[in-house]
Amino acid sequence: MESMRLDKYLSNTTGESRTKIKDILKAGRVKVNSSTIKDAKTQITPGEDLVELDSMPVIYEKFRYYLLNKPAGCVSATKDRLSDTVLDFFKGENMDGFFPVGRLDKDSEGLLLITNDGMLAHRLLSPTGHVPKVYFVELDREIEEKDIVKIEDKIDIGDDKPCLPAIVKKKEENFAEITIFEGRFHQVKRMFAAAGYEVKYLKRIAMGDLFLDDNLKTGEYKKIGEEEISLLRKKV
């Protein structure tokens, strides 16, 4: 593996900003191959040099993965001149090169994967991937069984071809759960609209084998381990 600056190595592995890393180095908290190093420009080789922070080994991670419980009112983008973005919730972390995998509408909430792994993102978003995505919806009225059948059976939303078959589960009152296997523009809202319903509230609760943590409040995020990512990769 190619060598890199020590501050970049530490920022990538800990998620801390370069500024915070420089403070950590100045405090003498970092050792490389048992020697205390304070120079941020020091070149190290991941996998060969032993880097320690507060006497604990710091293992290099080329890619990181976060699950964000996206709130309404922000956009699924890295930059926006008018609105907050999903990356604005990662205060104090080094998010250079990170991006949301796919999009949730500005007024939608729920599970959003944030990563710097472009290959995984490509595979998850590929039209041939057919990764299942589950949404909880509130409708303007109680859905009828005949319309559930209509939505599930390749409903036409005005695109070049009908949607892939979906799965709709009726919940209490005006609520439902829908699983889709593609990611068209405003797809869930358009599917229900084609059957005569308006979506009042939309929240993604699962993608592949990733599920929204009930303990994760709106606007909060958590780091995802390799085990969960491996399960997700198997879906594509």
Residues with a catalytic annotation lie at: 105
* Helix H or strand E segment including 125: helix 118-125
- Per DSSP (E only), the strands in the chain are 4-5, 30-32, 35-36, 43-44, 51-53, 56-57, 65-70, 99-100, 109-115, 133-139, 167-170, 175-180, 199-207, 210-211, 221-223
Q: What is the SS3 assignment for 169?
A: strand
Q: How many angstroms separate the Cα of 32 from the Cα of each of 10, 38, 121?
A: 11, 10, 33
Q: What is the CA radius of gyration of the chain?
A: 22
